[in-house]
Amino acid sequence: MNYQNKFPIYRDATRLVVEIESAVKDFPRYQKYTLGSEMHTLAYDLLTVMPYIINNKNDRKQLIKKAHQFSEVLTIQIAKQIVNLSFKVFETLVSLTINLSKQCKAWQNKLQHQRQHESNYVE
């Protein structure tokens, strides 16, 4: 399945990975292998969990919560303070991270609302 066209959250997670790759290559050596490595890991973890969220309805709520936590890690702000990221790169990374966080939260709220709605019919 082509997730990028059908799911904006997957498309944004992919773009975040690409943008982080691009930004990290310009980090000084020490930050590239410490902070850059951590940023890579978080972005890849976020991207990796997306197909599971999309395809696994049983564990979706837990997986969305996990994705939301990944997206809220503010390593990008630390990178801005430690490394001289250009404002444009910083703005892009923060914007993508905020969008992903909002999408995860909205999806989480939708699932919670659906479960409440279903439980009203069961009772």
Domain total of the chain: 1
| pLDDT tens column, 17-50 | 999 899 888 888 888 888 888 888 888 888 888 8
Top-confidence residue, 74 or 5: 5
Q: Average pLDDT of the chain?
A: 81
Domain, as residue range, for 89 = 3-122
3-class secondary structure for the chain? CCHHHHCHHHHHHHHHHHHHHHHHCCCCHHHHHCHHHHHHHHHHHHHHHHHHHHHCCCCHHHHHHHHHHHHHCCHHHHHHHHCCCCHHHHHHHHHHHHHHHHHHHHHHHHHHHHHHHHHHHHC
Whether the per-residue pLDDT at 5 is higher than 80: the answer is no
Look up the pTM and report it: 0.72
Q: What is the CATH number of the domain that holds 44?
A: 1.20.1440.60
